[in-house]
Amino acid sequence: DGHRVNCGVVGYGFHHDFGRMHCRWISACDELELTAICDVDPRARERAANEFPYVAQYSSIKQMLADDDLDMVSLVTPHFTHADLAVQCLRAGKHVVVEKAMAISVDQCTLMIEEARRAERKLAVFHNRRHDGNYRAIQQTVASGTIGDVFHVECCEESFSRPQRWWYSEHDKSGGVFFYWGPHAVDWVLNLMPTRVVRVAGSTQRRVWPHVDIADEVRAHLWFEDGATALISFSRIAAIPKPLWRVLGTCGAIEDLKIGRASGAYISGYQEVLVGEAGQGQIRVVTVDGDEQHETMVDYLESDWLTYYQDMADAVLHGASLPVSGEEGRLSVAVMEAAQQSGENGGTIIEIPEYD
């Protein structure tokens, strides 16, 4: 009606709550209306019908896209399906929100971006984890200038843990091990650094878990235009894990010791996720003044995951900027793809181009 956006969610989920959470976030926004849910699994559709009885249920995306009143579709499906489903939605005249990772290759991302431009529809990537409370506290501290100019960042999710066998652990479906946690970390790091990433090198290890066809560990080394560097690490074979965050500046540093938790403040229960309560935690901030060092502990800010869909409504209805554009999503995929290709070829340094 020009004042509300009719939304559909593809991939409600049965074993995990990802699609369910999208439905709750959409329903919590005044300018969005959840009108359709699509899932190929009848168990998921039954669960969705019980929890959202007023919402139309579909077993195929083709059926759902035939609804002319549907304005926007959120794709909460395995990575390898994103490009094809997004193109179908865009060609049907729908705006699209696609879960991270945007796709499993830069070429797929570019296809999606070009289709959105042709269709004159919005294409956004669901990098909602920018609103994690610990990350917001780190961003705020960096922006304040407290630690000076940032020249090196480390973001590491490490543990010694047996990976599950599901689509995330199948390389052809997920894109590889980096595409499991990497979308969060790469997006965080790219948004923390003031200049463009220009080069990437990677390394991979396969030593402990033969039951899956993805690496046990992957590391990405990033170089930025201003000479700053970053390390992103994901490991299932690190018995002594690194801190989640270490940020070095010219007059100080930040550390987040929430070891072994990818978010630092992400709450598993979806009711808590809906309201955006902050997890308990603090970042350690050290500042240097001459020969003296001062240490303070800074509380995490609140995690505000509702913000993403509110921003999406503003973009569709009022012409505001997208919360995360397809172009931003493609850059994250470019870094992950380069890191994995480099790791498979002995750590070769790969240039990251400036995309149109």
pLDDT in tens, 83-123: 999 999 999 999 999 999 999 999 999 999 999 999 999 99
Tokens 């550390």 sit at which residue?
Answer: 255
Q: Which residues contact 221 (CB under 8 A, 6 or more apart)?
A: 200, 201, 202, 229, 230, 231
Report the C-alpha dihedral over residues 142, 253, 192, 174, rounded to 10 degrees: -150
Task: At 85, give phi and psi (nearest 5°).
Answer: -65, -40
The H or E element that residue 283 is part of is: strand 282-289
- Tens of each residue's pLDDT in the chain, 356 residues: 568 999 999 999 866 788 999 999 999 999 999 999 999 999 999 999 999 999 999 999 999 999 999 999 999 999 999 999 999 999 999 999 999 999 999 999 999 999 999 999 999 999 999 998 899 999 999 999 999 999 999 999 888 888 776 655 565 555 567 777 789 999 999 999 999 999 999 998 888 777 777 777 889 999 999 999 999 999 888 899 899 999 999 999 999 987 444 444 444 334 444 444 445 688 999 999 999 999 999 998 888 888 999 999 999 999 999 999 999 999 999 999 999 999 989 999 999 999 98
Whole-angstrom distance, CA of residue 138 vs CA of residue 244: 12
**Domain 5-128+307-321 coded CATH 3.40.50.720:** yes
Ranges of beta strands (E only) in 100-180 are 123-126, 150-158
Tell me if residue 205 falls in helix, strand or coil.
strand
pLDDT in tens, 174-216: 556 777 778 999 999 999 999 999 999 999 888 877 777 777 7
User: Do 35 and 57 contact (CB within 8 A), yes or no?
Assistant: no
CA atoms within 13 Å, Cβ hemisphere of 171: 9
From 285, 328, 326, 281, select the one nearest 303 (Cα to Cα).
Answer: 281
Q: Which residues contact 37 (CB under 8 A, 6 or more apart)?
A: 8, 9, 12, 19, 23, 45, 48, 52, 55, 56, 57, 58
Tell me if residue 228 falls in helix, strand or coil.
coil
Tokens of 2: 């020009």
**What pLDDT does 356 receive?**
82
**What pLDDT does 279 receive?**
54
**What pLDDT does 260 receive?**
42
For residue 157, give Cα distances in angstroms to 6, 67, 123, 186, 264.
37, 42, 29, 12, 10
What residue spans define the domains of the chain? 5-128+307-321, 129-303+335-351
Q: Which residues contact 39 (CB under 8 A, 6 or more apart)?
A: 10, 11, 12, 13, 14, 19, 45, 48, 59
| Superfamily grouping for domain 129-303+335-351 | Dihydrodipicolinate Reductase; domain 2 (3.30.360.10)
What percentage of the chain exceeds 70 in pLDDT?
Answer: 88
Tokens of 303: 């995690």
Whole-angstrom distance, CA of residue 244 vs CA of residue 356: 33
Tell me if residue 235 falls in helix, strand or coil.
strand
Query: Any bridge partners for residue 158, and if so which?
Result: 235
Give DSSP secondary structure letters for 6-69: EEEEE---SSS-HHHHHHHHHHT-TTEEEEEEE-S-HHHHHHHHHH-TTSEEESSHHHHHT-TT
Tokens of 266: 């992400």
**What pLDDT does 214 receive?**
72
